[in-house]
Chain A
Amino acid sequence: MRKIISNHDIFALPRFAARLLRMLLPVENRESVMGDYEEMFADLAGRKGRLAARAWYGAQVFKSVPMFVAGIFTGRMFMLKTDFKLAVRNMRKAKGFTFLNIAGLALGMAVGFLMLLFVFQETSFDRFHEKSDRIFRFSNRVRAEDRQMDITGVPGPFGPLLADTFPEVANVARLRTRGTVPVILDGRSFEIRNALYADPGFFDVFSARVIGGDQKTMLEVPFSLVLTDETAQRLFGKEDPVGRIVQVNRKDPYTVTGVVRKFPSNSHLRFDALVSLSTREKLNGDVGIWLGFNFKTYVELRPGAAPAALLPRFQEALDDNADPAMKESMNITTTLGLTPLKRIHLHSHAEDEIVPPGNPAYIRILALIAFFILLLAGINFVTLSTARAGRRAKEIGIRKVLGAERRRLVGQFLGESVLLSCLSLSAAIGIIYFLLPLFNRLIAQDLSFQPFRNGIVLIGLLGLAVVIGLLAGIYPALVLSGFTPQRTLKANTGPGRERRFLRNGLVTFQYAVSIALICCTLIVYHQLKFLRTYDLGYNRNQLVEVPLLGQTAGRSDIFKAEVLKIPGVQQAAICSASPYAVGGETLFRFEGAPAGDRQVLPLVETDCDFLPTLGLSLAAGRNFDRERPADQTAALINQTLARKTGWDNPLGKTIYMTDVDENREFIETPVTVIGVVKDYHFESLHTPLRGQIILNRPARGSNLLVKLREEAIPASLAGMERAWKALEPNRPFGSKFLSEAFDRLYRTEQRLGQVFIFFTLLALFVAGLGLFGLAAYTAERRTREIGIRKILGASAVQIAGMLSREFVRWVLLANLLAWPAAYLAMRTWSASFPYRPGFNPLLFVAAGTAALLLAALTVSLRTMKTSRATPVKSLRYE
């Protein structure tokens, strides 16, 4: 092109200026604009000499720079406008494709964002406290004989001692749970659900927003009550509650001394009211003693203090002051730890946490699954876009012939995918609103989603959408823009065939993930069913439990006698624990063991009807006998314990039970073993069977266990309620069936199963969308072939089969990938159950079959349409 046929020296052009000009000019103008410049340059050189011309040229180019730059930008804007128009047109032309793409991506995004919400919530716990970096809470590992517990309580005086003796400790706060507080205000009664005892240090350590009252004094005086704004609103409405007096427990007057803003939901402390700790001292007098571990103690360290260095000194202080009775006669050791405030929610193992702690493993599983679903959605996008390449190849070829640069095509395709991704985002926001209540129930959380109230969240979401659009679009963009015009325009053999391997690989991956999820779901439900139907050693059907309160607890013998008069009642027993949960544990010493050798064992205090009510039988000896007064000090043990003691014949042996008397002294009470009960499970099946002692002490019972006859159960329940009302009219009658209570033990597993179902369905749906799109693509490509086959006599079913066969192969391959993955993923989970069903390969086969059937259905939905079309139409195609 650049032939030099000139009568002047072209190299006389200022080189730098010429190059600058070339750089600034868009391709379509470059040639003629530079020509114009040169023409004027030549003209000027002829009239005024070369030097003047050069000066003019340089100046011209220099002066033109801003305008050319502006031209580039306005040109871009214009191109964007055309691109946008093109993108919209393309989407309209392929409505099905667009729908599949947006639906898949929107679902993936919705799940991903829901998970992000959850993860943010779980990891943001307690960060709202100003000094959260310097606040620590004591954890306490209590070891007594062969058993250990992780709790959060330490003795009451420990906190003040630290504040007095350690200069590194800036402030100390002590809390103790108070539970539900019944309140009477102006004759109306209320319940304050979660109340905490707190000392005045509460406001020094935590960042609580005080709305009313004096922060410094509101927790000082006994019988002070500090309400959260929510509780204050419920009790007092719009009135100012500060200074008002309420009746607690029908007797004590408490003064409302302050109102604080309720803590947000991402706090490990949840309370509706605070009661001054001095109240506890007035009521129980146990705040100042070193016995027991009941006070959650928080320390705020001074800046620069190292908690790791302080901990041994804290431990020393505790050991020096520990109650001698606890150390010597109970042989209890305690090990302190300091948990940073912000780590409490996710890293505490304590059994007495107010808000159930989060589970990092659980969060990781959920996040991983969500990531996979988002990945599946992204893969959908890639497969669908490349599959459509054949369709768009012509467009690309023609655009290239007309001079489009590859870079511009890439930009256009990326723009299209970002546009799709942004459309998906708006759909995703709708889906999130729709799914959030369900999701909250699944994960037992109270998340809220308000992107339109928080600009940062919205911008973040948009940013994510753009990133997802770019990531999902980069591969199709590079592939599509790389087509050479000759090939795309030649004939029907458009490109895209050689990408088949990649596309099929991606679909296989999608199905592998889906199948693995189905496997996990089935494994969880298999385990759950096993737990629910496991033989516990007694029949829990028609067993009802009635918690005893007030008069029915005080005179449980009368209540039991009344209940036994009801015709529908078969048996009844008073006992201290439910048959599915350990009610209490005590220290025991076996006959023949040295004085210090004590064991912690679960016990149930009940009467002689316990065995018949549960339907338990004896392996040796006899049951308690009402007629023998000596049986007051008799005991039954289970087979496991009998084995553990090592006695040849446990009957007649003595076990010494350690009790605490009124003066907090330890005393040993001997009981004689009169029988061995056949083993039954008295705890959830999460723990293996342990030894148990059954004592004949009905006076300590807190529950009435009733075995009903199968017929007329509602009448029996009504009769029990009447008996209750006659004895204790002021307290409500409550009863629960053991079979229901038992199911509740496995709520965690149930929830995990539901979460898996939720995610599995989503994954299957997304994978289904992708497969559907791919099937549509294949069917379209083979339109002519199908027409010819039909003419030659193939039936619609045969053709559908032919089209589906390929996908079936890939889904089968996906099974091979999914099975080991699911097995490995669930192995540790399964192993955590002492009682579990054997590994059942049928579950995996079932998962594979389900996925295969779904895939076949999806594919045939699309292929049947093509195979049923008349050959005339398909042969005319294109």
Chain B
Amino acid sequence: MELLTRLEEAILIAVLRLGDEAYGVAVNLEVSRMFGKAYTLGALYFALDQLVRKEYLGKRLGESSAQRGGKSKTYYRLTPEGNEALSAVRAHQLRIWKTVPKTTMV
């Protein structure tokens, strides 16, 4: 399995954390907070679409609101494959960090 990129990882974590509230604006806010910088929606959607295509994320159309000019939200949700991909990244991180002795770490 191909490993996730940093951004993809962050998006999946954001979706996981947001639970039922994971839609575009919320995810963007969460990710921007995680990295401490504002992401454009375009960059985010590119990654979101990829993740949907890879079937790590599922999406469903939600309700609309006046604030959105009557346009409905798309909610994202982690699929089991997405979950697996996340834990794979984590396991990988742990495995490679284990090879570095603690004393050499700055």
Chain A residues within CB distance 8 Å of chain B:
1-7, 10, 29, 31-40, 42-43, 60-61, 63-68, 70-71, 74-75, 78
Shortest distance from the beta carbon of B26 to any chain A beta carbon, whole Å:
9
Q: Please tell me if the beta carbons of B50 and A74 are within 8 angstroms of each other in the complex.
A: yes
Q: Please tell me if the beta carbons of B46 and A70 are within 8 angstroms of each other in the complex.
A: yes
Partner of A31, one of B23, B46, B71: B71
Q: Please tell me if the beta carbons of B41 and A60 are within 8 angstroms of each other in the complex.
A: yes
Shortest distance from the beta carbon of A403 to any chain B beta carbon, whole Å:
12
Contacts of B28 in A (CB 8 A): 36, 40
Whether A60 contacts B42 in the complex (CB less than 8 A), given A6-B67, A31-B71, A35-B69, comes out as yes
Indicate whether B61 reaches chain A with its CB closer than 8 angstroms: yes
Q: Please tell me if the beta carbons of A40 and B25 are within 8 angstroms of each other in the complex.
A: yes
Report how far A39 CA is from B65 CA in the complex, Å.
9
Whether A32 contacts B23 in the complex (CB less than 8 A), given A37-B41, A60-B41, A60-B42, comes out as yes
Q: Please tell me if the beta carbons of B70 and A67 are within 8 angstroms of each other in the complex.
A: no
Secondary structure class of chain B's binding surface, majority of residues: helix
Q: Please tell me if the beta carbons of B42 and A31 are within 8 angstroms of each other in the complex.
A: no
Shortest distance from the beta carbon of A263 to any chain B beta carbon, whole Å:
59
Report how far A37 CA is from B40 CA in the complex, Å.
10
Indicate whether B58 reaches chain A with its CB closer than 8 angstroms: no
Contacts of B24 in A (CB 8 A): 32-33, 35-36
Report how far A189 CA is from B19 CA in the complex, Å.
97
Contacts of B73 in A (CB 8 A): 32, 35-36
Partner of A6, one of B40, B53, B61, B69: B69
Shortest distance from the beta carbon of B53 to any chain A beta carbon, whole Å:
6
Q: Please tell me if the beta carbons of B45 and A39 are within 8 angstroms of each other in the complex.
A: no
Knowing that A29-B45, A33-B45, A42-B67 are A-B contacts, what are 15 other residue pairs whose CB atoms are under 8 Å apart, sorted by A's residue number? Answer: A5-B66, A6-B67, A31-B61, A31-B71, A32-B72, A32-B74, A35-B68, A35-B73, A36-B24, A36-B41, A36-B68, A37-B41, A39-B65, A68-B46, A70-B46
Shortest distance from the beta carbon of A76 to any chain B beta carbon, whole Å:
12
Contacts of A33 in B (CB 8 A): 24, 41, 45, 74
Q: List 7 A-B contacts (CB under 8 A).
A: A6-B70, A35-B24, A63-B42, A64-B45, A68-B42, A68-B45, A71-B45
Indicate whether B49 reaches chain A with its CB closer than 8 angstroms: yes
Report how far A67 CA is from B50 CA in the complex, Å.
12
Indicate whether B64 reaches chain A with its CB closer than 8 angstroms: yes
Indicate whether B43 reaches chain A with its CB closer than 8 angstroms: yes
Partner of A64, one of B25, B40, B61, B65: B40
- B45-67: CB near A (< 8 Å → 1, else 0) gives 11001100100000001001111
Chain B residues within CB distance 8 Å of chain A:
23-25, 28, 40-43, 45-46, 49-50, 53, 61, 64-74
Shortest distance from the beta carbon of A858 to any chain B beta carbon, whole Å:
47
Q: Smallest CB-CB separation from A36: which chain B residue?
A: B24
Contacts of B46 in A (CB 8 A): 67-68, 70-71, 74
Contacts of A43 in B (CB 8 A): 67
Q: Smallest CB-CB separation from B29: which chain A residue?
A: A40
Q: Smallest CB-CB separation from A34: which chain B residue?
A: B71
Q: Please tell me if the beta carbons of A31 and B72 are within 8 angstroms of each other in the complex.
A: yes
Q: Please tell me if the beta carbons of A38 and B40 are within 8 angstroms of each other in the complex.
A: no
Shortest distance from the beta carbon of A47 to any chain B beta carbon, whole Å:
13
Report how far A36 CA is from B73 CA in the complex, Å.
7
Report how far A39 CA is from B74 CA in the complex, Å.
13
Shortest distance from the beta carbon of A196 to any chain B beta carbon, whole Å:
70
Q: Please tell me if the beta carbons of B23 and A36 are within 8 angstroms of each other in the complex.
A: yes
Partner of A39, one of B42, B49, B53, B68: B68
Partner of A36, one of B25, B50, B61, B66: B25
Shortest distance from the beta carbon of B10 to any chain A beta carbon, whole Å:
16
Shortest distance from the beta carbon of B101 to any chain A beta carbon, whole Å:
41
Whether A5 contacts B72 in the complex (CB less than 8 A), given A36-B25, A60-B41, A75-B49, comes out as no
Shortest distance from the beta carbon of B76 to any chain A beta carbon, whole Å:
10
Report how far A67 CA is from B66 CA in the complex, Å.
28
Q: Please tell me if the beta carbons of B69 and A10 are within 8 angstroms of each other in the complex.
A: yes
Shortest distance from the beta carbon of A643 to any chain B beta carbon, whole Å:
94
Partner of A35, one of B40, B45, B53, B71: B71
Report how far A488 CA is from B61 CA in the complex, Å.
28
Contacts of A39 in B (CB 8 A): 25, 65, 67-68
Q: Please tell me if the beta carbons of B43 and A64 are within 8 angstroms of each other in the complex.
A: yes
Q: Please tell me if the beta carbons of B68 and A65 are within 8 angstroms of each other in the complex.
A: no
Shortest distance from the beta carbon of B59 to any chain A beta carbon, whole Å:
9
Shortest distance from the beta carbon of A42 to any chain B beta carbon, whole Å:
5
Contacts of A60 in B (CB 8 A): 40-42
Contacts of A63 in B (CB 8 A): 40, 42
Report how far A220 CA is from B83 CA in the complex, Å.
90
Q: Smallest CB-CB separation from A40: which chain B residue?
A: B25
What are the nearest 8 A-B pairs in CB distance? A64-B42, A35-B71, A36-B24, A32-B74, A35-B68, A67-B42, A67-B46, A38-B69
Shortest distance from the beta carbon of B43 to any chain A beta carbon, whole Å:
5
Shortest distance from the beta carbon of A38 to any chain B beta carbon, whole Å:
4
Contacts of A36 in B (CB 8 A): 23-25, 28, 41, 68, 73
Contacts of A37 in B (CB 8 A): 41
Q: Smallest CB-CB separation from A42: which chain B residue?
A: B67
Q: Please tell me if the beta carbons of B70 and A5 are within 8 angstroms of each other in the complex.
A: yes
Contacts of B67 in A (CB 8 A): 6, 38-39, 42-43
Q: Please tell me if the beta carbons of A3 and B53 are within 8 angstroms of each other in the complex.
A: no
Report how far A75 CA is from B69 CA in the complex, Å.
27
Whether A32 contacts B61 in the complex (CB less than 8 A), given A4-B69, A75-B49, comes out as yes
Contacts of A40 in B (CB 8 A): 25, 28, 41
Q: Smallest CB-CB separation from B68: which chain A residue?
A: A35
Contacts of A71 in B (CB 8 A): 45-46, 49
Report how far A384 CA is from B42 CA in the complex, Å.
45
Contacts of B43 in A (CB 8 A): 64, 67
Report how far A339 CA is from B66 CA in the complex, Å.
85
Shortest distance from the beta carbon of B74 to any chain A beta carbon, whole Å:
4
Contacts of A64 in B (CB 8 A): 40-43, 45
Q: Smallest CB-CB separation from B43: which chain A residue?
A: A67
Q: Please tell me if the beta carbons of A4 and B42 are within 8 angstroms of each other in the complex.
A: no
Q: Smallest CB-CB separation from A82: which chain B residue?
A: B53
